[in-house]
Structures are given as structure tokens and as C-alpha cells.
Amino acid sequence: MSSQTADILVVGAGVNGASVAFHLARRGADVLVVERTTVGDGATGRSSGFVRMHYDFELESRLAFASLPYFTGWAERVGEGDPGFVRTGFLQLVPPAFAEALRANVETHRRIGINTSVLDATGVAELVPGIVTDDVAAAAYEPESGYADPTGTAAGFLAAARRSGARYVGNRKVSRLLAQDGRVTGIEMDDGRIEAGTVVLAAGAWADELAATVGLEVPVQAWRHDTAYFGLPAGRTADLPIVIDHAQEVYFRPEGRELLLVGLEAGNVIGGSPDRPMAGLSSSTVESMIERVCRRVPWMADGSLRTAHGGQDGITPDQRAILGPAGPAGGPDGLWLACGFSGTGFKIAPAVGASLAEWILDGRPTTVDIRPFGLERFAAGRPLVGEHPYDALWR
């Protein structure tokens, strides 16, 4: 490949990189997206696709709330592809120790404008027949939430970006970022360079090693997680909401009409090379999934395992994204970060793209003020902590 140029270069065509490209291109920016494999092949392709707004950190809830209209009104807002949004409703279950925190978070969400309420055990049982609620002190319910197709969402964003003039280069591995005299100048690949005065690093679990090529430390590690699909028992329908079960460290949601997607949030591996092969799920991991789900919905004991796979994202020390310019953290000017989403990136991607594009083009983000997500917070000892926090990995 001969040398190319672009005003703004986006490294990574996952859902957040594609969203950034879409929002930049629709504003008339000259954008080029480079992807090491194919669209949505990293964390996006292994996401469970939740579209919900319940977090213990207000800014994340604001990002998710600002993103919801994209999923529900895709044809008008994006116009290419289909995110495959399915409205199911969403339940966040917590044990007694976090009941007051949940109620406080729901009040915050209602103030933002989110349609949500607190349910007791009886209300939960009405939504999920046969569910065990002995240890459920409170639950948050969002009737407008659901799930969507992450790869389809990324592909739609990228197609719409290209319709607005953005360019895309796939199957090109970026070997390093380039900088000179304190400013980013582009990227280098095995088969050439691309020159750009602005680079958005949206490379998921690979962000730290690429940032290091310009002397910037980005605290992002690879985080592996496990997901499986189970066939619903005979006589059971998929008419149930997404459930995040804090006590059992598991989540589940319907997939189509005959399957239940289950995700395990126990024993996840953090660290190691993001390039190492994805290992298949061990029998003990699958058994743990089954045991935890059946504690909550005992009727799943008659279900059947269909398929299982691992996934990967980049995770940060405070388990929240890194967004914004690298300059304030000692990186080169013109380098922007959109990484370290720590498992939360899909549902907030539309608003992240809009906010970051505003910051790059206008000097400040207005859709949601994402400035607190800056990389410099780590060196300054200002990790992002929820106003009414739950345990780590359960936000």
C-alpha cells in the first residue's frame, strides 16, 4: 500500500471506532478507518449486546440514555444497516447489602429522564415466572431496554460513515503510531504509512501496546469473559427481560425465541496478550454457569447447552472507559483515546461517538460531558467511582 493521508484517522472498527467515524464524517470531516481484521471482530463481536441504562456512575447512565434513541430510531438517525434492537426490558437484581444503593441509583436515573423503577420480590416474580427471589432485596426495572446485534450496529455505523465520505481499510495491522515534535503524524503498518494530524485510538485490548509506541502509558489490560447459549426447556418461552444477577455473578437474556444467553462474571481472566487464542469454555465453567442460573431460575435445569465461547475487552483500573485527548496525560497532541471500555462499550457507543466527535471538532463535548473519562485521571489519583457503588464488575 502506498502512503495515504487523512485529516482524521480512526484505528479500530469496533462499534466505538465506527461510531466515532460516523459522527465525524457526517460533520464533513475527512476520515479514514483502519481495522486489523474485519468490522466488529474484537470485543464488539463477542459482546452480549445489552442496551440498558442502569449504572452506579451517573455519566455512564447519561451516555447509555443518550444512546438509546439510536437503537430505537436507527433508520432516522443512521440510515444504514440494522442494529437488530429487541425490546425485552431489563432487571438489575441486588442482595440486601446494595438495596439502598440501588434505590439511590434509580432516583438518579429518573432525574436524568430514564424510565425506570424499583421493584420488590413480588414485582420481579411477575416479570420472570418461576424465579427465586428469597435473596432479592430490590431490583431496578427498565421497560424500554433490551438487546441488539453488536456487529450489525458497528457495520451500520461504518456504512453510514462511508456514505458520508469516510474511507475504510480492513485487514491491515497497525504496528505503531507515529509522532514528531510532540504531535501525532499518523500510523505505520507492515505495508505502508498513513499520515494524519489527528488519530483516534479505538483499538480495544490492543490500545496499550500501540500507545506505548509514542511513549504513552495507557492502563488497559485484556479481560476475558465467558458466554454460552442454552436451549430453553420445553414449554418455556423467551418472553422475559434481561437479568443481571449480582448475587449469583451471572447474567442472562433471551436470544431469539428458543435460546437463553448466559454470561459468567466470576473467574474472569485479566492480563496476558490480547493476541493469544480464545480458549474454549471448560466443563467446570459451563457447570458453574448452569449452577448459578438454576439457582435463580430452577426451570433451566431442563435446558440444553447449544454453544459456548469466550470474549475479550480492554479493562482499566477503575473499570471505566478512557476517552479524550492524550495530550493532558503527556501523550502527543492530536492523539485521542476511545478505549478501555471494560465491558460497557456497546450500549454507550452512539453517544461516545457523538461526544468525542464534538470534542475533536468543536473543542468540547456537548451530547454528554465525557471530560472526566480522560486518561490523566489515573496519574492524578482520581479514579471514577460510582455515586452509589456496587461491587467491582457489577455496575
Q: How confident is the model over 58-69, as a mean pLDDT?
A: 98
Q: How confident is the model over 263-279, as a mean pLDDT?
A: 88
Least confident piece of the model among 8-22, 76-90, 188-202, 279-293:
279-293
**pLDDT, tens digit, 9 for 90 and up, residues 310-328:** 899 999 999 999 999 999 9
CA distance 222 to 204: 8
pLDDT-derived band at 190, boundaries 50, 70, 90: confident
Residue 2: per-residue pLDDT: 47
Q: How confident is the model over 88-103, as a mean pLDDT?
A: 96
Proportion of the chain above pLDDT 70, given as a percent: 98
Q: What is the dihedral of CA 380, 386, 388, 393, to 10 degrees?
A: -120
Q: How confident is the model over 7-11, as a mean pLDDT?
A: 98
pLDDT-derived band at 3, boundaries 50, 70, 90: low
Whether 142 and 89 have beta carbons less than 8 Å apart is answered as yes
Least confident piece of the model among 199-203, 283-287, 314-318:
283-287
Whether 8 and 30 have beta carbons less than 8 Å apart is answered as yes
Is the predicted pLDDT of residue 386 greater than 80, yes or no? Answer: yes
Reference 216, options 337, 385, 308, 311; nearest CA is 337
pLDDT-derived band at 394, boundaries 50, 70, 90: very low
pTM, 2 dp: 0.97
Residue 392: per-residue pLDDT: 61
Residue 1: per-residue pLDDT: 44
Cα–chain center distance at 7: 27
Residue 395: per-residue pLDDT: 38
What is the chain's mean pLDDT, rounded?
A: 95
What's the alpha-carbon Rg for the chain, to the nearest Å?
A: 21
Domains of the chain in sequence order:
4-48+151-220+317-379 (3.50.50.60), 87-144+222-315 (3.30.9.10)
